[in-house]
Structure 1
Amino acid sequence: MQTRYFWRGRRAEAEAAYAALDAVFEEEGAPLALTEIDEAAGIVEVAAYLAAEDGDDRTEEFRTAAGLRPDDEIGREELADRDWMAAVLAELKPVRAGRFVVHGAHDRDKVGAHELSIEIEAGLAFGTGHHATTAGCLAMIDEIVRLRRPGRVLDLGTGSAVLAIAAAKLARLQVLATDVDPVAVAVAAANVRANGVARFVETIRADGFAAPAVRRRAPYELIVANILAGPLIHLAPAFRRHAARRADVILSGILVSQVAAVRAAYRAQGFVHRETRVIGEWAALHLRRAAA
């Protein structure tokens, strides 16, 4: 039996709690999660999935490990035993976006002769290709690469490396794929190898544009970032510093209600709006840095 313990608070506190939990439960291999609950209010949930024998309550262990206060409210949810990976894979169907088909190993036979296969298994890192944000980015990458064939490409916040793999498969582009989460970087590297594009895609751990390797390769002709609206707005000046003149930028992880704020932040940095693609409640933006 596994139990999910969770606490919600401000982003800085939640991130500190996540880091503390990671240090305590690393050897146990307990899955952890950090989820944005309310972006406007800055509320984030940190959760740990802990094994419990005979219904043991590990609430206080979670509280202590996370460095929380005695009066902080901890949620507790019992999870029934289930082969979650098998269940997820059974429900995931191939996704087509542009010339790409994103699929699991169980659907290899569903890829057409003239389609570009991206094989991603459901795993620890975000991004199987089934989320609307990923699909929107894939379609935009297909269009941009076909028309402009950019040189240096950056996939910022790569997750499972779907977008980096797409750029490499489409035109053998050299891509730097980064993520702040070391687990995501390891998963991304494995996916890059599995898809046969290790010669074209380098995966590294980096927080935004801070890593020397990210700065060294700039300026980029194409930057893709499928993260969240808040970080995208915060990073707008850094995008300008690292984007070549007339560079294409694809931004996603943006709710339709957040599009105006993101566009305004990038317009102030000299980026011109090219396209907004909406899938459900999510949007992907194509922007281009002005020539001057």
Structure 2
Amino acid sequence: MNQSRIMLRLDTPEASDLFLLLEAAFEEDGYAISHFEVEPDNPDSLEWTIDIYVPKEELTEVLDRIEGLRTNDMSGLKLTHEDVGDEDWVAMSLEGLRPVAAGRFFVHGAHDKALIPAGAVGVEIEAGQAFGTGHHGTTAGCLEALEYVLRRRSFERIFDMGTGTGLLAIAIAKACHQPVLASDIDVVSVVVARENAQLNQVANRIHVVEANGMHHAAIRITAPFDLIVANILAGPLMTMAGEIGGQLAAGGTLILSGILDAQANRVVAAYVAHGLALQRRASREGWTTLTFCAVL
């Protein structure tokens, strides 16, 4: 099946806003979307591009949906598209994904493996069918939160809920040298996470299960956890505040993300109501990452 590449170029101030709009609009469609800076040819050229790869027969529909998202602030938006072959579009997408450094962690594709800094924890993740390449503010925010907590204590019983590509579980397994239980509600993500754990040579430390929230025998058997990371969405996080908090050991650490800045206060309130104390709050690209501690 041939693919079409949609290219949107615009000035820096609007690029991140449009990228978030597109991610939300096409979240259920599984399209590959990349957002990266380009070298300007002259001072007046546009500085950012967003690429979306869609099946050729869906191009017209997707273009119409993008037009529906256009605002007056995006008057300078330039939108073009082209057809690409089945093999070429993946490589082209990966070319735009620059490595991401967050704390000691360095997330990269295979094409940037040689760029890992000395002493960094390298995590190799390719763009694909599951969420989490490190380029989204939520994933990078979780990595920064992990850096914060790992400098302060060690963890033995670790759970990554909503693992996606497995990026966070892999990062933790590499940094802590401890087993990590990971879960996702999506069977494709479970498969991808297992493949990435193998790719990163930590398959022996990571156990990935298909689970809805906290409902799985492996979760019940392993709990309570010293560290839980949940990078999903604010709604489910608030709904499951009691369940998640209840699986945290006394003095344990909880990292939450997938939370828009405007939603953060409500998420904090939900977890404080279940006896957790807020330790750290950080925002990146419009998304908040929260770190809690279970009161001893």
Question: Normalized against structure 1, the TM-score is what?
Answer: 0.75
Q: In 1, Cα distance between the equivalents of 2:227 and 2:104?
A: 19
Identity %: 43
1:215 Cα shift? 1.1
Indicate if the aligned counterparts of 1:233 and 1:262 stay in contact, CA closer than 8 A. Answer: yes
Q: Alignment RMSD, CA only?
A: 2.5
Question: Normalized against structure 2, the TM-score is what?
Answer: 0.74
Residue 148 of structure 2 aligns with which residue?
143
For structure 2, list consecutive stretches of 5 or more residues without a partner in the other structure.
Answer: 5-22, 32-53, 64-80
List 4+ stretches of structure 1 deviating above 2 A. Answer: 44-52, 75-84
Q: In 2, Cα distance between the equivalents of 1:130 and 1:2?
A: 23
Deviations 1:151-174, CA, capped at 9 Å, x for gaps: 100000000111101111112021
Select which of 266, 275, 282 maps to 1:270: 275
3-state SS of 1:77 partner: helix
Indicate if the aligned counterparts of 1:99 and 1:142 stay in contact, CA closer than 8 A. Answer: yes
For structure 1, list consecutive stretches of 5 or more residues without a partner in the other structure.
Answer: 4-34, 38-43, 58-74
1:76 Cα shift? 2.4
3-state SS of 2:126 partner: coil
Alignment of 1:87-166 (within 5 A): 87-166=92-171
Indicate if the aligned counterparts of 1:142 and 1:170 stay in contact, CA closer than 8 A. Answer: no
Deviations 1:38-61, CA, capped at 9 Å, x for gaps: xxxxxx975488967xx7x9xxxx
Residue 280 of structure 1 aligns with which residue?
285
Which amino acid letter does the alignment assign opposite residue 232 of structure 2?
A: I
Q: In 1, Cα distance between the equivalents of 2:169 and 2:24?
A: 24
Which amino acid letter does the alignment assign opposite residue 81 of structure 1?
A: D
Residue 248 of structure 2 aligns with which residue?
243
Q: In 2, Cα distance between the equivalents of 1:284 and 1:229?
A: 11
1:36 Cα shift? 4.9
Q: In 2, Cα distance between the equivalents of 1:107 and 1:2?
A: 25
Select which of 212, 220, 224 maps to 1:207: 212
Residue 224 of structure 2 aligns with which residue?
219
Indicate if the aligned counterparts of 2:227 and 2:254 stay in contact, CA closer than 8 A. Answer: yes
Residue 83 of structure 2 aligns with which residue?
81
Q: In 1, Cα distance between the equivalents of 2:177 and 2:27?
A: 39
Name the CA shift for 1:45/1:145 in 2 (closer, same or farther; >3 Å).
closer
